[in-house]
Amino acid sequence: MPKLLSVLLHRDPDALVEGLDAFPPESVPDPRLVHPFFDLMVVSFFIMLGAALWFWWLRWRRPEQAHGKWPLRALLLAAPFGLIALESGWLVTEFGRQPWIARGEMLVSQGVTTQTGMVPVLLTFLALYLVLTAGLLKLLLQPVLKGKGVTAEPGDQHVEP
């Protein structure tokens, strides 16, 4: 949309928006770090969207197949891509705004914390997320591990565990 960035940045449709070439090279983010994570974020979205659209299309057009083995496997395969998209989006943000911590206000080197004791906090969160992931996988894979599989009878509106 023409002039939208000028309005967003300066509240003036005719204002000049400087590009990265207007800044010294040492203060410009490295696109080799930003671009792959942006691509991963976008691909993750389309993987999740594809699995969801396929499930809902089947549910609409062929309800007896919506809870079959392959649509549910596709949803299970697509599920981790939400976290992958979230983390890769965060990396796009972090790598993309380098070297500024706040545009024009502070360099990252000035904003690094001097706080000690961060390693136990990091390890605690890591352990918590690993336990939550293991619990989620156990719940999601419970029917498969018990050998029951997931089947749907014609006319079923839900799946029994």
Q: Is residue 103 part of a domain?
A: no
Cα–Cα distance measured from residue 127 to residue 121, given in angstroms and rounded to the nearest whole number: 10
- Tokens linked to 79: 């599920």
User: Nearest CA to 70 among 4, 158, 139, 150?
Assistant: 150
85 and 43 part of one domain: yes
| Residue-number span of the structural domain to which 63 is assigned | 30-96
Q: Is residue 58 part of a domain?
A: yes
Cα–Cα distance measured from residue 145 to residue 138, given in angstroms and rounded to the nearest whole number: 9
Alpha carbon 7 to chain centroid distance? 28
88 and 126 part of one domain: no
Output b/e per residue, 61-72; b: 16+ Cβ within 10 A: eeeeebbeeebb
Q: Which helix (H) or strand (E) holds 107?
A: strand 106-107
**Is the pLDDT assigned to residue 20 strictly greater than 80?**
no
Q: Is residue 85 part of a domain?
A: yes
Q: Is residue 120 part of a domain?
A: yes
96 vs 124, higher pLDDT: 124
52 and 91 part of one domain: yes
Count of domains in the chain? 2
**Is the pLDDT assigned to residue 138 strictly greater than 70?**
yes
User: Nearest CA to 29 among 76, 93, 121?
Assistant: 93
Reported residue count of the chain is 161
In the predicted model, what is the mean pLDDT of residues 25-43? 87
Q: Is 94 exposed, middle or buried (0-12, 13-18, 19+ CB in 10 A)?
A: middle
In this predicted model, what pLDDT tens digit does every residue of 60-112 receive, in sequence order?
888 888 788 888 889 889 999 999 999 999 999 888 776 666 666 677 777 77
In this prediction, residue 6 carries a pLDDT of 92
Q: Is residue 36 part of a domain?
A: yes
Q: Is 93 exposed, middle or buried (0-12, 13-18, 19+ CB in 10 A)?
A: exposed
